[in-house]
Structure 1
């Protein structure tokens, strides 16, 4: 009985706040940063930015991921507490983008390094699409069972 109540409290908390860690470069990162401003105010959608992976339960990978960055991304992912979620945002993160065709130093898809829950295509994705993905992730979390 107590485990069930603790699970319900945990689930309610997770639905209202996603502590996010941003990892990335390039154009998509600038596009995401514009969500912080007064027009969209992503706090309203439950995103709370964190600077430490130990405090985050969502990592948003943005922009081109290079071979030098891949070990640090995997390390950050491993330091996150469970349950942990990943959103891959932008064409460069999902497939390597236009930089991956002739490049020896670009990772061709972040899902080769870590488990990605949601892919958000675009170059860069629109603000509304970013907000839609966050709300879809929150709905996905609502259907999970946290009684373990």
Structure 2
């Protein structure tokens, strides 16, 4: 980031915001109807053993301050509007990570009377992390792939199907 004295202040400010967002993204977690297996694995990524915060990712409680929405479970009729509201409250640019088989395809809950569908049917998903539940290493791998693509300047991340085995 090199700027001359003639550079407009708005461009400098935008550049600093982009740098901060890439190097220290804030994430919010939302369970849209899962069995809590994926939620436990997400919490495990924040423990000292896996330490997701070493990549600058901080779990945030408010969608108004979050850059990344980490979503688990199939979308239920009751959680659909809430998920949309959370997504709409996030500032642009915003990214969505779908965690677990239920978030990708409905998993074991697919076809149930109260299931609307998977997460990508309600909000656009940038990264899919497969598994039932996915291991903490796989979740970290997916988040790191998202961060790498942001550093390269790509707005979208393709879904990955590489497994992380430990």
TM-score, reference length from structure 2:
0.81
1:126 aligns to what? 135
2-structure distance, mates of 1:49, 1:122 = 22
1:9 aligns to what? 16
2-structure distance, mates of 1:118, 1:128 = 15
1:32-58 per-position Cα deviation (integer Å, ceiling 9, x unaligned): 111121101111121111111101111
Is 1:22 aligned to residue 29 of structure 2?
yes
SS at match of 1:15: helix
Q: Unpaired segments of 5 or more residues in structure 2?
A: 1-6, 156-166
Alignment of 1:40-119 (within 5 A): 40-101=50-111, 103-119=112-128
2-structure distance, mates of 1:81, 1:15 = 14
1-structure distance, mates of 2:48, 2:74 = 27
Give the superposition deviation at 1:145: 7.8
SS at match of 2:117: coil
Aligned residue pairs total 145
Higher RCO, 1 vs 2 (CA within 8 Å, ≥6 residues apart)? 1
2-structure distance, mates of 1:113, 1:23 = 13
Runs of 4+ aligned residues of structure 1 deviating over 4 Å after TM superposition are none
2-structure distance, mates of 1:46, 1:132 = 14
SS at match of 2:91: coil
Indicate the structure with greater helix content: 1
TM-score, reference length from structure 1:
0.90
Structure showing greater Rg? 2
Q: Unpaired segments of 5 or more residues in structure 1?
A: none
Range with greater deviation from structure 2 (40-49 or 1-10): 1-10
